Amino acid sequence: MKSITVGITGASGSIYAQRLLVKLIESPSVDRIDLVLSQAGIRVVNEELGINAAGTGHRVVTELTGIESDKVIVHPASDIGATIASGSYESHAMIIVPCSMSSLACIASGVMRDLVHRAADVHLKEGRKLILVPRETPVHAIHLENMLKLARIGVQIVPAMPSFYHQLVTIGDLIEHFTHRLLDHLDVPHNQATRWEGSRKR
């Protein structure tokens, strides 16, 4: 069983976080999800999904996912004394989806402006898996340098870029496919992926 920390920051692509949370809640391999949204993350979730994700508790989870679940613990980004701020708390992996360039820069610099950055820093210092899903275009040299710096210390950089070679038809299909790739990176088993089997087998 896995405990996973999910951060949502103020980059576009909050639908990926929404779909991932649903799949993590539904997964029998995941027993706890710690969720933290930055202030800007709350803003972008509202802009993109029309959901009020401010606050803590079951309401936020239900609003975000449509599921009532005890698996998810929502932490305020201001609570730098939350469980996930400590290395002694069990969390197997953290994913920040979507990850803003601002949060990516903070993590790359060891600056902890809020609980999202602190929890990410804890995963780094404890040698645990950290996955960042940045979304920005175009990117300048500082963005690229920050990503390189993090990749060099083992952070998985998984840009929110859908692929088109699976001949998926709708935007929803692309989102689902990318979300399944995130589950792969989190080592959460699933059987819904469209896996490439070579051109001839299509």
Give the residues lining the site for ligand FMN (CB under 6 A). Answer: 9-12, 38, 40-41, 43-44, 47, 100-103, 135-136
Query: Which candidate, 179, 109, 129, 94, places its Cα nearest to that of 192?
Result: 179
Please identify, using beta-carbon distances, which residue of 61 and 147 lies nearer to ligand FMN: 147
Could you tell me the smallest distance in angstroms from the CB atom of residue 90 to ligand FMN? 25
The smaller minimum CB distance to ligand FMN, of residues 45 and 188, is found at: 45
In whole angstroms, how close is the CB of 6 to ligand FMN at the nearest point?
14
Which residue, 4 or 96, has its beta carbon nearer to ligand FMN? 96
Taking the complex as a whole, how short is the minimal distance between the CB of residue 190 and ligand FMN, in angstroms? 26
Query: By Cβ distance, which residue is nearest to ligand FMN?
Result: 10
